[in-house]
Amino acid sequence: MTEDAPGPHRPGRPGLVEVAARAGVSIKTASRALNGEGYVAHETRQRVQQAADELGYRANGMARELRLGGNTSTLIGMLGGDLGNPFYSKLASGLEREVRFRGLQLVTVNTDEDTRSEQRLTDALLERRVRALVVASTLPSHEHLAAEHRHGIPFVFVDRPPVGLSADAVLLDNRGGAHQAAAHLLELGHTRIGIVGDLSRLSTNQERVTSFGATLRAAGIADWREHLIEDAHDVDTAQRAVLDLLRRDPAPTAIFTTNNRITTGALRVLHRLPAPPALIGFDELDMGDILGVTVVTHDPENMGRQTARLLLERLDGYAGTARWVILPTRLIPRASSRRPPGTG
């Protein structure tokens, strides 16, 4: 039973008090009628429902859950770094489809890769008594979440691992994917390769850049960092970084970009050139196959499904040690990974 406490009228959406007054019944009767409970005459139930419809009343589902079910709701919170990025929207889609079948609802919030925003939004979701949190974190440490973790709130970290907190995680094989990209360019004959990276503080970028550079160094290219530009987090900064690389003398004959937004920025520059350098991007692009862009690809929706599996097992009572799932990546060679000029 949901029953709003009587009180003065408040602006905004009407409450149960207003519905009861319009229908000419008690608050308790209005509550019973709207919740489908017994002991309410058919005509009374219809009158109450009509009053609710006319007023635009909507029951406070969260309040009802907290009254009936304890101190949690049916909400699953997800903190994404940039929900405008197709990677996060696909991940959320895979996650939402799985939790929906369990009667749970996914609430996504956007941190913009900002540490203060992430902390504020995390607190806001926890205050709403979410059942669990899915976190793509930009923070250097997660020790501050230990108390919530001990109190039974499951955390599953996606794309970036937890630091200072023992929690489940679903991650990509960033090192393996970057190694494939570097090895492919080396096989084509490239030795002067530019790297345009995401925010240097993000673990995903660090793993991809480190692995790519290690592969180049193993091939005898010791000065690879001279052609590295990081902190190109969006399309505009990526464009500027690519232009910077192309103005150098000599310019790189190939470019590796560490995420899909950076690849998009690179394409905006390279499509204007009669003989652009080779290009490999980490993450698939929309229409990447049509544009002929070589990519290191993976399945964000599967990442969402795997995240849901770990999360639901925790909600079902699994109390074992933290589990990390590492998802594979694979290289898809396309037209953009061409040989250096003059090599046939």
Encode the chain (344 residues) as per-residue pLDDT tens digits.
333 433 444 445 678 888 899 999 988 888 888 877 777 888 898 898 888 888 877 666 555 554 544 555 789 999 998 877 889 999 999 999 999 999 999 999 999 999 999 999 998 898 888 999 999 999 999 988 888 888 788 999 999 999 999 999 999 999 999 999 999 999 999 999 999 999 999 999 999 999 999 999 999 999 999 999 999 989 999 999 999 999 999 999 999 999 999 999 999 999 999 999 999 999 999 889 999 999 999 999 999 999 999 999 999 999 999 999 999 999 999 999 999 987 76
State the pLDDT at residue 200.
Answer: 95
Among 221, 275, 237, 283, which Cα is nearest to 257's? 283
Percent of the chain beyond pLDDT 70?
92
- List CB contacts of 323: < 8 A, sequence separation 6 or more: 168, 169, 310
- pLDDT tens column, 74-129: 899 999 988 778 899 999 999 999 999 999 999 999 999 999 999 999 988 988 88
Across the strands, what pairs with 327?
172
Distance CA 253, CA 122 (A): 43
Distance CA 312, CA 102 (A): 9
State the pLDDT at residue 39.
Answer: 78
State the pLDDT at residue 303.
Answer: 98
Secondary structure (3-state) at 46:
helix
- pLDDT tens column, 282-295: 999 988 999 999 99
Residue 209 near residue 177 (C-beta atoms within 8 A): no
Secondary structure (3-state) at 173:
coil
Tell me how far apart the terminal alpha carbons of the chain are, to the nearest angstrom.
Answer: 77
State the pLDDT at residue 1.
Answer: 34
The pairs formed by 63-69 with CB atoms below 8 angstroms and a separation of 24 or more are: 63/2, 64/2, 66/129, 67/2
Helices (H), the chain: 16-23, 27-34, 42-55, 61-69, 86-100, 115-127, 146-150, 174-188, 203-218, 235-247, 260-270, 288-291, 300-315
Cα separations (Å) of 89 from 295, 296, 325? 19, 19, 20
Secondary structure (3-state) at 121:
helix
State the pLDDT at residue 138.
Answer: 92
Q: Which amino acid does the sequence have at 67?
A: R
State the pLDDT at residue 62.
Answer: 53
Residue count of the chain, please give it: 344
Q: What pTM, to 2 d.p., does this model score?
A: 0.79
State the pLDDT at residue 4.
Answer: 41
Distance CA 198, CA 113 (A): 11
Residue 216 near residue 286 (C-beta atoms within 8 A): no
Distance CA 170, CA 142 (A): 16
Alpha carbon of residue 250 to chain centroid: 38
Phi, psi of 313 (to 5 degrees): -65, -40
Q: Which two tokens stand for residue 54?
A: 């006319």
Distance CA 291, CA 288 (A): 5
State the pLDDT at residue 60.
Answer: 60
State the pLDDT at residue 13.
Answer: 65
Among 88, 134, 138, 81, which Cα is nearest to 107's? 134
Residue 136 near residue 160 (C-beta atoms within 8 A): yes
Across the strands, what pairs with 109?
79
